[in-house]
Amino acid sequence: QKEVEQNSGPLSVPEGAIASLNCTYSDRGSQSFFWYRQYSGKSPELIMFIYSNGDKEDGRFTAQLNKASQYVSLLIRDSQPSDSATYLCAVLNDYKLSFGAGTTVTVRA
């Protein structure tokens, strides 16, 4: 059983729309949750992290965490073509990160 699962992509959204990405994790003891963006051929870039239940906003990005449901999501508002990338959900346990398979997002101009 995978530790971190993300909704299968690819996800295609029109420019200006909201992109919604989902992630579930299996270990209830997981401490913190991260969203990374990875462009093709590049290494992951941290977008934001969250460790408390609820919402956390940073610019056009909002992370949502529900520990009871073992669910974390990322919303990208006003999507831009430059947001086209693979988004990786990562879960921290004992200082190690476990990554989901990633969801590829394409923003159509």
Partner 1 sequence: GAVVSQHPSRVICKSGTSVKIECRSLDFQATTMFWYRQFPKQSLMLMATSNEGSKATYEQGVEKDKFLINHASLTLSTLTVTSAHPEDSSFYICSARVPTTGNTDTQYFGPGTRLTVL
Pick from 91, 88, 86: which is nearest to 67 by CA? 91
DSSP annotation of 68? T
* Residue 71 C-beta: closest distance to partner 1, Å: 18
Provide the token pair at 27. 């270990």
> By CB under 8 A, is residue 71 in contact with partner 1?
no
DSSP annotation of 83? G
Tell me how far apart the alpha carbons of residues 47 and 32 are, in angstroms, rounded to a whole number. Answer: 14
- Residues constituting the chain: 109
> At which residue do the structure tokens 């729309």 appear?
17
Sole binder of partner 1 in the list 29, 68, 69, 96 (CB under 8 A)? 96
> By CB under 8 A, is residue 28 in contact with partner 1?
no
> By CB under 8 A, is residue 13 in contact with partner 1?
no
> By CB under 8 A, is residue 88 in contact with partner 1?
yes
Sole binder of partner 1 in the list 20, 93, 101, 106 (CB under 8 A)? 101
Residues of this chain that bind partner 1 (CB under 8 A): 31-32, 34, 36, 41-46, 49, 51-52, 88, 92, 95-102
